[in-house]
Amino acid sequence: MSKHFRALQEPRWEARVLARHDMTYREGPSEEADRPAHVRAASGLSAFRECLAVIQDDANWLALIDADQQVTAVPLPPSPAGDRVFSKKRGNHGDKYDLEACVTVTSGNNCELVGFSSGSRSEREWVLRVREDKGGELKAVFVPAPAFYAAMRENKTFSGAGLNIEGALAFDHDRVRLFQRGNSEPSDGSEAIDATADFSWAALCEHLSAPDRHPPPVLENVRTYDLGTLGGVRLTFSDAEHLGDGRVLFSASAEDGKTGGIRGSVLGIIERDGEARWTHLVDEKSRPFTGKIEGLTLDVNDRQKVYFVIDDDDEDTPSRIYHAVVSDAMLDGAAAEKPDALRHLM
C-alpha cells in the first residue's frame, strides 16, 4: 500500500537565486554534427565526474559545465534518421527522445550518468547510459526500455492518469528513486498524480541487457503527494537530489496547463518518513522567481548551495543555469510545530 502526503509551505525557510548564466557551447554551432549554438531545452542536471551534466528533452547533446562556467557539448547517438535536434520547424518534433531526468550512479570505481525519457508517449521510453571507456573518453548509448516503462505506466498508484518521469536521484549504488510529475488530464477514472518510487539499479541493468530473460524491476516504496499550489496553480515535481540520511531536496513548479504560463517554482525537503515542506524561491532582488525549474543538483563543496536549470520553451534562446542558496533552517529541518491533522495521510 502506498502512503499519501500533503506538502506544506514552511515560512521559516528561505531559498534565493544568487546568479545565472546562459549555457552557450564553447565549440559553437555545427551543421555537420547537427549541433546548435547553445543548450536548447535543459531538462535535467547532475554532478558528473568534475562537471555538471545537463540533458535536454529535444536535443541529443549532453552539456558539461566546468568550474569556469565553460560549456562543452558532448554528442549523444543520433536518431535513426540521423538527427540530434528535434523541433516543430523541422517536422521531427515527434521523434524526440524527451530526456527529462538524470542521475549519476556510482558502483565501486565506476561512475555512470543515467538519463530517463519521460515515458509520456510510447516513443519516449529510453534509458541513456554515459560511461567513460578505458581511454577516458565518454561513450553514450540509448537503450530502449519499453517493458520497464510499461510496468511503470501500469502501476496506477505511481503513474495515475499519465506517466511523466521528471526527476531521479540515487540513494546508494543500487537504489534509485524516480519522481512522477502529475500534469496529465484525468483519464479512465484516474487523476493526475505526483509520486515517487524506488527500484533496484542492478535489476534494471539486468533487464536492459537481456529483457527477454530478466523482467523489469519492481517499483517499491511508492509515495504520492499533494504539493499544494502557487498563485492558484497546482505544484508538480520537477527534480530532486539526495541530501543524505534519507532526506531529499526537491523542486516543483506551477505551470498552468491551459495557458502554459509559469507562476513560479519552489524548493522543498522530503523527510525520511515522507513528510514534505517547501519554500517559494525568490530572485536576486527578493522578488518571486517565475521560472520553471527543470533539474537541480547540489554543490559538493557547499551544503547551502544549489544549482538548477530552467527552460523557457524557446529553442532560439539559451537555457540558463542558476546558482541559489538555501537557509540553514531548511537543511537542518527546523520548522514550527504542525497540527496532527496536517501530517501525512494514510
Rounded mean pLDDT, 268-280: 96
pLDDT tier at 261 (50, 70, 90 boundaries)? confident
125, exposed or middle or buried, with CB in 10 Å at 0-12, 13-18, 19+? buried
Segment 80-86 mean pLDDT: 95
CB 25 within 8 A of CB 33: no
154 or 336, greater pLDDT = 154
Question: Each residue of 104-115: b (16+ CB within 10 Å) or e?
Answer: bbeeeeeebbbb
Q: What is the pLDDT of residues 86-106, one digit of tens each?
A: 999 999 999 999 999 999 998
Architecture of the domain spanning 3-334:
5 Propeller (2.115)
Grid look-up 578505458 returns: 134
For residue 28, is it left (φ>0), alpha (ψ between -120 and 50) or beta? left
DSSP 8-state assignment for residue 24? B
pLDDT tens for 104-144 read 998 777 899 999 999 999 999 999 999 988 888 899 999 99
C-alpha cell at position 173: 549504488
In the predicted structure, residue 171 carries a pLDDT above the cut 60? yes
pLDDT tier, 340 (very low <50, low <70, confident <90, very high otherwise): very low
Say what the pLDDT of residue 136 is: 83
Neighbour count for residue 13 (Cβ, 10 Å): 23
| Three-state secondary structure call for residue 257 | coil
Q: pLDDT at position 331, please?
A: 87
Q: Where are the domains of the chain?
A: 3-334
Beta bridge partners of 140: 130
Q: Across all residues in the chain, what is the average pLDDT?
A: 92
Asked whether the predicted pLDDT for residue 338 surpasses 70, the reply is: no
pLDDT number for residue 345:
34
pLDDT band at 189 (very low <50, low <70, confident <90, very high): confident
pLDDT at 334: 66
Neighbour count for residue 65 (Cβ, 10 Å): 21
Residue type, 343: R
Residue 335 pLDDT level (bands cut at 50, 70, 90): low
3-state secondary structure 282-328: ECCCCCECCCCEEEEEEECCEEEEEEEEECCCCCCCCCEEEEEEECH
Task: Give the model's confidence band at 341: pLDDT under 50 very low, under 70 low, under 90 confident, else very high.
Answer: very low
Mean pLDDT for 48-69 is: 95
Pairing mode, strands 165-170 and 175-180:
antiparallel
Evaluate if residue 273 carries a pLDDT over 50.
yes
Give 60 or 183, the one with higher predicted confidence: 60
Run of H or E residues at 315: none
The neighbouring-strand residues paired with 106 are: 111
- Residues 20-53: tens digit of each pLDDT: 999 999 999 999 999 999 999 999 999 998 999 9
Quick one: which H or E segment has residue 290?
none
Give the three cell numbers for residue 176: 534509485
CA angle 22, 28, 30 (to 5 degrees): 130
Higher pLDDT, 321 or 262: 321
- Distance between CA atoms of 196 and 246, rounded to whole angstroms? 13
Pairing of strands 138-144, 165-170: unpaired
pLDDT at residue 229 above 70?
A: yes
